[in-house]
Amino acid sequence: MENRGSKINSDTASSSKIKNLKPKIYDTAIVGAGINGCASAYFLSKANQNVILIDQEGIAAGGSGAAGAFISPKFTKGGRLKELLEEAYLYSLAFYTQNFPDHIHIAKLLQIANSEENEVRLNAFKETTTLSFSEDSSAVESILTPYAKASASLVLKEGGVVNAQAMCAALAEGIDFNSEKVDHLHYAEGIWHIGDIRAKRIILATGSYDLVVKMPYLELRRIWGHRIDVKTTTKVPYSIHHHLSISPSSEEGILAIGATHNLHYNPFGDEVYDVEEGRKELLEKALKSVRLEDVEVIKDYTGLRSGSNDYLPIIGPVVDAETTMDENFKVSRLKWMSDDSFTSFPELYMINGTGGYGFVLAPYLAKQLTEHITNKTVLDTALTPTRFFRRWAKKKS
């Protein structure tokens, strides 16, 4: 017997449990309810797809809920990631502002170089970007430390800070949801089976957690993040990014201070994360940039984010490595083979590897993935999982 999911709303987003109602086969089941999964659910439902979200802990319960979630491009000279993030930054800022204005706080972004190398990148960005910016930071000059004032900087004329958990819940509003750990998928007679749930299609949006299906060619980078919300009497009108992000919220006197700052901590190991030490580190870094007064920490958020080894996000069909590399597979032909030449798992897709730019990339990528699924549009091959299969197959043979 299949189950029908309870509907998501902001009050039940972290605890909704599937209820036994009438049998149903979904068009799409999305495993993972962070920003990538919730954005995918939103766009697919808008395309008249019947969707269910599945997550062990709830909406934005992991790395997405711990994100600073300010909408920013990548401040560097060039390359595909910079180009992608500029496109996504403009798209997502407009998307959030137009569709979910209650969950985004509009604020200009002050980017300050934190090293000589970073200053070179920032100056190169100024020369190559098409985005509107100024070098006038006078509005925040009085609260910056001498150290921050002495560094190269720029102010983006458009920017915003998203309420991470509220935004994910809003994206998932009205979508069926099941709280369940997924460690096995089964495909039979054109239908995917996830426990009692049936779906024609699966999207894996699992972040740094188990990929669920066998992908020997793909290894994700796990990045531990910690954010704190603080009360302060210091008025900070801009989002400021220096050694970390310091972002105002829609609530007066509340700042979000966060960073993807711990690349070594592994929550799956025996070590217990020291929240007090992490909080201390965040405050020390923040005070290098801004003279905050009467600071009171009111909440901690921690979680694990995922990035790819080439730093680009991952969207698209999932290659079945075992089936593709049969006895007829010739590595010598790999260079000339199109992505369509490889065998993918039937109706199995993924969206992952967005790292610290999840809230910038997710709407932009989820829209593309939805159009690929519903209208057969072509995805950028630089972003599909196939790129990792190609590299793996070449080394393996």
pLDDT in tens, 241-254: 999 999 887 777 89
Amino acid identity for residue 90 in this structure: L
Q: How confident is the model at residue 397 (pLDDT cuts 50, 70, 90)?
A: low
Distance CA 355, CA 185 (A): 25
Is 105 strand, coil or helix? strand
pLDDT category of residue 15 using cuts at 50, 70 and 90: very low
Task: Decide: 53 and 176 in contact? Cβ < 8 Å.
Answer: yes
189-209 per-position pLDDT tens digit? 999 999 899 999 999 999 877
Tell whether 286 and 349 lie within a shared domain.
Answer: no
Q: Which alpha helices (DSSP H) does 217-347 contain, by range?
A: 275-289, 321-324
pLDDT at 68 over 90: no
Indicate the helix (H) or strand (E) that contains 174.
none
pLDDT beyond 90 at 298: yes
Q: How far apart are CA 92 and CA 360, in angstroms?
A: 6
Q: At what angle do helices 358-375 and 80-99 cross, to 10 degrees?
A: 90
- C-alpha Rg value of the chain to the nearest Å: 22
Say which residue, 23 or 45, is predicted with more confidence.
Answer: 45
| pLDDT > 70 in the chain, percent | 91
pLDDT at 11: 41
Q: What pLDDT does residue 9 have?
A: 40
> At 353, is the pLDDT very low, low, confident or very high (cuts 50, 70, 90)?
very high
- Token reading at 10: 């902001």
Interval 291-313 mean pLDDT: 91
CATH of the domain at 148: 3.30.9.10
| Per-residue pLDDT tens over the stretch 77-114 | 878 999 999 999 999 999 999 999 999 988 899 999 99
User: For residue 17, how many other CB atoms are within 10 A of its CB?
Assistant: 12
22: domain CATH number is 3.50.50.60
Q: Does residue 101 share a domain with residue 210?
A: no
CA distance 49 to 28: 7
- State the total domains in the chain: 2
pLDDT band (50, 70, 90) for residue 377: very high
In this structure, the answer to whether residues 132 and 212 fall within a common structural domain is: no
Number of continuous H segments (helices) and E segments (strands) in the chain: 9, 20
Residue 93's domain comprises 70-162+221-307
Q: Is the pLDDT of residue 220 over 80?
A: yes
d(CA 171, CA 279): 30
Residue 263: pLDDT band with limits 50, 70, 90: low
pLDDT the model gives residue 154: 93
| Same domain? 278 vs 186 | no
Whether pLDDT at 291 is above 50: yes
CA 360 to chain centre: 7
What backbone phi and psi angles, to 5 degrees, belong to 53?
Answer: -100, 140
- Do both 7 and 52 map to the same domain? yes
Comparison of pLDDT for 334 and 120, the residue scoring more: 120
Strand ranges in the chain using DSSP code E only, listed in sequence order: 6-7, 25-31, 51-55, 70-71, 104-106, 109-112, 133-134, 153-156, 160-162, 176-179, 186-188, 191-194, 197-204, 221-231, 239-241, 245-248, 254-262, 296-307, 314-319, 344-352
Please report which confidence band the pLDDT of residue 261 belongs to, taking 50, 70 and 90 as the band edges: low
Compute how many other C-beta atoms are within 10 angstroms of the C-beta atom of residue 85: 22
- Tell me how far apart the alpha carbons of residues 68 and 335 are, in angstroms, rounded to a whole number: 40
Model confidence at 262, in pLDDT bands (50, 70, 90)? low
Q: Which amino acid is at 131?
A: L
Same domain, yes or no, for 90 and 141? yes
Same domain for 366 and 394, yes or no, is: yes
Please name which of 362, 9, 89, 340 lies closest in space to residue 205, comparing C-alpha atoms.
362
Q: Are residues 108 and 238 in the same domain?
A: yes
* Residues near 306 by beta carbon (within 8 Å), at least 6 away in sequence: 63, 207, 208, 220, 221, 222, 223, 352, 353, 354, 355
Report the chain's terminal Cα–Cα distance, integer Å.
45
pLDDT band at 260 (very low <50, low <70, confident <90, very high): low
Are both 158 and 288 inside the same structural domain? yes
Kindly state whether residues 156 and 263 are assigned to the same domain: yes
- The token pair at 379 is 């995805």
Query: Which residue, 280, 307, 334, sits at the end of a domain?
Result: 307
Average pLDDT over residues 288-297: 94
Max avg pLDDT among 31-45, 50-64, 233-247: 31-45
Which residues, other chains included, contact 85 with Cβ-Cβ below 8 Å and sequence gap of 6+? 72, 73, 74, 357, 360, 361
In whole angstroms, what is the distance from residue 385 CA to residue 319 CA? 7
Assign 217 a pLDDT band (cuts: 50, 70, 90).
very high
CA torsion sign, 383 to 389 to 394 to 396? positive
pTM of the entire structure?
A: 0.89
Same domain, residue pair 154 and 249 = yes
pLDDT 10s digits, 123-178: 999 988 888 899 888 899 999 999 999 999 999 988 888 888 899 999 999 999 99
Write down which residue in 307, 325, 347 finishes a domain: 307
Give me the chain's average pLDDT, please.
87
46 and 118 assigned to the same domain: no
Single out the residue in 291, 307, 323 at which a domain terminates.
307
Comparing 1-5, 232-236, 351-355, which segment has the lowest mean pLDDT?
1-5
Classify residue 290 by its DSSP letter: B
Looking at residues 170-187, what average pLDDT do you find? 93
Mean pLDDT of 366-388: 96
